[in-house]
Structure 1
Amino acid sequence: MLLLFEMQIAIGDTLSISPNFYHIDREKSIIVVNQSANSLSVRNTNPKSHISLDRTYEFDQSIREISTDSSYKVSLAGSVYTLYFTQLPIIHINTSRAIEDTPNVYARFTMVEDTGLITQSNLGIQTRGAYSQTFPKKSYELSFWNDTVGTIDRDIRLLGMREDNKWNLQAMYNEPLRMNSKVANELWQDIHEIYYKALEPTAKNGIDMAYVELFVNDEYKGLYALGERVDRKQLKLKKYNNGIKGELYKGYDWGGASTFTSLPPFSNASSTWGGFEYKHPEEEVNWSNLYNFVGFVENSSNKDFYDNYKQKFDIDNAVDYYIFLNFTRALDNMGKNIYIAKYKTGDPYFYVPWDLDSVFGNNWEGNIVNITDDILSNGFYDRLINDCSPGGFRAKLVQRWAELRSSVITEDNILAKFEVNHEYLTHNNVYKREHTAWSSYTANASYLSYVRGWVRNRIGYLDVAFNQQCTPLNARLARQEVGLKLYPNPTSDFLTIESDPLPFEFSIQDMRGKTVLKTSLKGSTNKVDLSLIAKGIYIVTVKSSKAIQTQKLIVN
């Protein structure tokens, strides 16, 4: 239901707000108004001593003008409220049931934009995410319905983004200034365009996001990013039709298949396999194609791999994602939090990034990790990086990095993206409200300076790393020189490392970047005692004279 309301201001000493544009959390004693600031200009009029909302509140001192970057004290019957004005859309979700991970519960959705546009719908809502569900501020998955039980979906267009029945509300709780994932998604679309764009003009390899503020059952929940989803519709993959079909798989875990480090058996009776979750086509679950591709990557001879991988995976996409993965240092996106897709039968696979909060020197726990001198990889890239042929992966990497360094991946361009978002949120006083909603959070603008330094150092390192001379490896040693296996993972007491039979430096860092173990090892198989390391998530780094590789380690 879409409605357009006129905005008006009363004459005299009372500022009048249209009913749909004020939003009150009585427990937190805050009022947020997103009626257009232009319509509320009180300059050159009588000072306003009162504001009319559900009732008439009194300003603690008369005002002559309104600003979104200020706050105001108003009182009603002895209760004092902090009043804010904002340009951001405000979403209300109201439900009589507890919102949990699954299943969807029925709710009513209302979104009010400062232009006067109001969107209303029935809704199914559940919390979303894996590790992020441990945070107090929850992310949500929204399913729009034409009924109250979810039997009839409803496609809806929100904030200029695509029309769809499913949307995500990202909490961004672990992002220092609530903008890492939004900037990263924007950057990916600046870097990469889907290869079949001419055939599917609306296809998009990635998602758009827009800032909103959220109330759930009239409780203010703070700043969120309303975002699109990665699915068949977003990518315009072919539907299932007489053997012609697109494919889509989500890397939901650090499995052997999703990281290209092992080839476990599959069952078409299961919607998951080796760290992947089956997404499309909906008409059947058949892992054969992806299994064959993972097996090709892991087990083919070097001649077979280098002769044929370009027919199986879009090389330009592989290059762009490798650059993006490493430039942003997306720690959680080497196997998990990444989609593999195929447009139609006979076409190559390609990557689609997802869930980009652990980027730009920040990790998935929300801690600073000031590491800029490593290379992120997986089993697939371990092989691609050794393709030294003309027009091969390394040649394209050098060329593409040079192109992006002259335009998109520059210190000023990246910082401009952060600064635009920061200015918008600061101008609308969002950070103060976010602290009101989540008292443990305080915005620290010095993170922008940290990001600038981090980006500068990361670019400097990759300028060297991506332009190193590519030395062809002989067929027998090509897989071994960057081969690395860590097991068991997760582990509780020890870790076995299989690698090159050469001296190498082995280190483990926690999510704050603190080194908890560092040693030198020799030989092809080593066992490291982890019994004194606390439970948690760590990053393992192995450096030799010929390679550097990083992997995630879970100690439980």
Structure 2
Amino acid sequence: MKKNRIVLCCLSLVMVLFMNACREDPVELSDEANILSFKITRALNPSLSKDYEGIIDNPNFFISVALDDDYALNQLIPSLEVSPGAVVSPESGTPVDFTKTVTYTVTAASGVRQVYTVNLSTPGGVPSITGILIDNIPCIYDGSSDAYFFSVKDENQGSIRILCQGQNISAVSTGDFTTANNSTVILPGLKPGNTLEITPSSKSGKKGEAVKLVVSSLPLVHIEVSGTIVNKPKIDCNISLIDPWGLTNDSLRYFPPHFAGIELRGGLAQSFPKKSYSFEFRSSGTMEVDSGTKLLGLRDDGDWILDAMYIDHARMRNRLSTDLWIDMNKVPYLSKEPRAINGTRGYFVEVFLNNSYLGLYCLTERIDRKQLQLSKKEGFSYKASHWSSSTEFVNGNAAIDNNSDDWDGWELEYQAETAATSIPQVKWQPLRDFIRYTALSTDNDFIMNIGTKTEISNLVDYLLFMNAVGADDNTGKNTFFSFHSNSRNKFFITPWDLDASWGRKWEGSKIDLRNDEFIGVTGIPGTDSRYCRPNAYFIRMMNLNPGGFRNQLKTRWQQLRQNELSMPQLTARVDTYRRQFSTSGAFERERKKWPAYITDINTETQFMLSWIQNRMNQVDAYLNGL
């Protein structure tokens, strides 16, 4: 019996070894997606006098074919050979109209794709440009101005490879400079703010109609969508990006069209003619992509915002203020979550929708659990979206409904996983309990215990920040209240939507703050002040002065006035964006596109700096008088 077991074990071992030896390794699918040959033959095209073979430029995915006679180009039938295992569209042997730009998409066995452009020329044909590629990056065509757009980092661009798509193009010229089509050159005038005229020439020297090439220094975003973009739901689109800095996905200057879903963004902003958008990259259907979409070196995520900034005469206030805030204030648990950012980062871009120029936008990250690095299991985040007795902290008396993601002016941004699965689930209780505590606790209880429920240093920075930039629309709404986890469950504030700042109100008019006005504190809770309403929570902190709160404000203000809130640093921030707008030419294009609610950039930034200097003096005097 024992021998039989030994024999069976040996046989089993032999079988396993035999099967492993016979098992084939997984086949690696090829990434090769090249066109190996491109021919237009008499066999398939009887009108031709001979066969023609295209010259293939694989590094630039360009094929040129020079015909000896003026054949009709609208029904030619090419034959192609592609990499083994790859497929091509249109297929080899398919009739093609070469009077238009023709492209062939080759898909490798692995799914990798390459797009080739074909240029046919005839002796008597008039050269015409239907597309421009620079360093294999397709320039964006704007039908409203009949111009192509490209972006470069600065005026020291160096050599570039220029390829003009179309027909009968042998050479291209701009001014007195001429070069062969699809050649590497230093192109004169290719610097931010310039508009070049590119003229095509045929092999016989015949010239075609010139096209305009507008050069920016800001990233360019192109949205391609077939339907109408609405508030909800998101509709399918494709989004591409030209990144002059090469920061996208750490190295890309061109982010090719990526499937996404897009919708309108904002409340009041949706009534403006220039729309803001939010979009998310998707793999298919509604499946969101969370990686491989690291735009402009920002976070690697699928969710993004395109802020139109329509009401802001300088088109920079929200970005300027948010930059200042995230430099001033860090999340209170930064040592535990070093990637957390208490706000959003972003860059100014120029946006096109279906080859039509939309204007100057700011591409920004979103404020969410990932940005704040809240605990998935235990963190909470709430967004104050409109004025109410709860967002103004007058009381928290409104009834809560844990089946709803909205409560009395608040929206649920993130709910802890443990709270979502508990019975009954916990959704609004943490926020309501906090609001009711700030409004209804006894003075002694408030003085002794408010520091266990809120991050005092964050509140100090927030009050000073609001008053420095004049953010009077952010005293109740336009804020996030969040906490990290059960072990770090003190609420902290994150501002958003800061267009009403730097001397202008939420509707774009100028604001004339007075010496005795401290935003968030001056006025009567629940009623209109001269501008927006104060916050009962902020008022109580000032009146009861727990932990020497007023002295904390004064001490922190003195520190900030030597650093982030010094006039040299504030001036430098404004000037940086003013130069970007001027050098790129983007601000003038924005003024022509959207002439309402916009002022000359030099005039407006001078007003902003004059206003902020006066406001610094006002806050200096107010805090010294506490």
Please confirm whether the aligned pair reaches a TM-score higher than 0.5, indicating the same fold.
yes
Residue aligning to 1:298: 439
- 1:106 is displaced (CA, Å) by 0.7
- 1:369 is displaced (CA, Å) by 2.3
Residue aligning to 2:474: 333
1:22 lines up with 2:139 in the alignment: yes
Q: 1:37 to 1:58 in 2, by over 3 A?
A: farther
Q: 1:458 to 1:58 in 2, by over 3 A?
A: same
Out of 553, 559, 570, the position equivalent to 1:403 is 559
Describe the SS at the equivalent of 1:164: coil
The structure with the largest alpha-carbon Rg is 2
1:352 lines up with 2:494 in the alignment: yes
Q: 1:53 to 1:364 in 2, by over 3 A?
A: farther
Structure 2 unaligned residues grouped into runs of 5+: 1-58, 63-128, 178-187, 201-206, 247-251, 421-425, 521-534
- 1:238 is displaced (CA, Å) by 0.9
Describe the SS at the equivalent of 1:261: coil
Out of 83, 98, 104, the position equivalent to 2:213 is 83
Distance, in Å, in 2 between the alignment partners of 1:153 and 1:51 is: 33
Q: 1:6 to 1:454 in 2, by over 3 A?
A: farther
Out of 106, 113, 133, the position equivalent to 2:236 is 106
**Residue identity opposite 1:338 in structure 2:** T
8 Å CA contact retained: 2:190, 2:196 = no
Cα deviation digits, residues 250-295 of structure 1 (max 9, x gap): 0011111111023222221221112111121165352111111111
8 Å CA contact retained: 2:221, 2:241 = yes
Cα deviation digits, residues 421-459 of structure 1 (max 9, x gap): 111121111112223433445533111211121111101
Q: 1:204 to 1:256 in 2, by over 3 A?
A: same
8 Å CA contact retained: 2:155, 2:192 = no
Describe the SS at the equivalent of 2:348: strand
Out of 243, 248, 252, the position equivalent to 2:381 is 248
1:185 lines up with 2:322 in the alignment: yes
Residue aligning to 1:66: 190
1:463 lines up with 2:587 in the alignment: no
- 1:52 is displaced (CA, Å) by 3.4
8 Å CA contact retained: 2:382, 2:414 = yes
Give the TM-score, by structure 2 length: 0.67
Describe the SS at the equivalent of 2:318: helix
Out of 377, 387, 392, the position equivalent to 1:259 is 392
Out of 229, 232, 238, the position equivalent to 2:366 is 229
- 1:109 is displaced (CA, Å) by 1.4
Q: 1:289 to 1:282 in 2, by over 3 A?
A: closer
Describe the SS at the equivalent of 1:279: strand
The answer to which of 253-262 and 307-316 deviates more is 253-262
Give the TM-score, by structure 1 length: 0.75
Identity rate, percent: 28
Distance, in Å, in 1 between the alignment partners of 2:60 and 2:556 is: 51
8 Å CA contact retained: 1:232, 1:248 = yes
Describe the SS at the equivalent of 2:137: helix
Describe the SS at the equivalent of 1:397: helix
Out of 414, 437, 455, the position equivalent to 1:280 is 414
Over the aligned positions, Cα root-mean-square deviation in angstroms equals 2.9
Q: 1:354 to 1:94 in 2, by over 3 A?
A: same
Residue aligning to 2:75: none
Distance, in Å, in 2 between the alignment partners of 1:316 and 1:323 is: 11
Cα deviation digits, residues 330-377 of structure 1 (max 9, x gap): 121111110000011142111011111111112222332233532211
Distance, in Å, in 2 between the alignment partners of 1:213 and 1:7 is: 27
What number of residue pairs does the alignment pair up? 450
Q: 1:67 to 1:290 in 2, by over 3 A?
A: same
Out of 177, 180, 205, the position equivalent to 2:342 is 205
Distance, in Å, in 2 between the alignment partners of 1:80 and 1:161 is: 38
- 1:129 is displaced (CA, Å) by 0.5
Describe the SS at the equivalent of 1:126: strand
Out of 423, 437, 448, the position equivalent to 2:579 is 423
**Residue identity opposite 1:117 in structure 2:** R
Residue aligning to 2:262: 125
- 1:398 is displaced (CA, Å) by 0.9
Distance, in Å, in 2 between the alignment partners of 1:6 and 1:414 is: 45
**Residue identity opposite 1:92 in structure 2:** H
8 Å CA contact retained: 1:19, 1:53 = no
Following TM superposition, the consecutive aligned residue runs of length 4 or more in structure 1 with deviations greater than 6 angstroms are: 5-8, 55-60, 75-80
**Residue identity opposite 2:506 in structure 1:** W
1:153 lines up with 2:286 in the alignment: no
Distance, in Å, in 2 between the alignment partners of 1:467 and 1:37 is: 46
1:375 lines up with 2:518 in the alignment: yes
Residue aligning to 1:554: none
8 Å CA contact retained: 1:7, 1:18 = no
Distance, in Å, in 1 between the alignment partners of 2:507 and 2:163 is: 42
Structure 1 unaligned residues grouped into runs of 5+: 9-13, 44-49, 470-556
- 1:36 is displaced (CA, Å) by 5.7
Q: 1:299 to 1:109 in 2, by over 3 A?
A: same
Cα deviation digits, residues 39-70 of structure 1 (max 9, x gap): 85589xxxxxx993557698784464333123
**Residue identity opposite 1:31 in structure 2:** Y
- 1:110 is displaced (CA, Å) by 1.1
Distance, in Å, in 2 between the alignment partners of 1:260 and 1:290 is: 11
8 Å CA contact retained: 1:123, 1:144 = yes
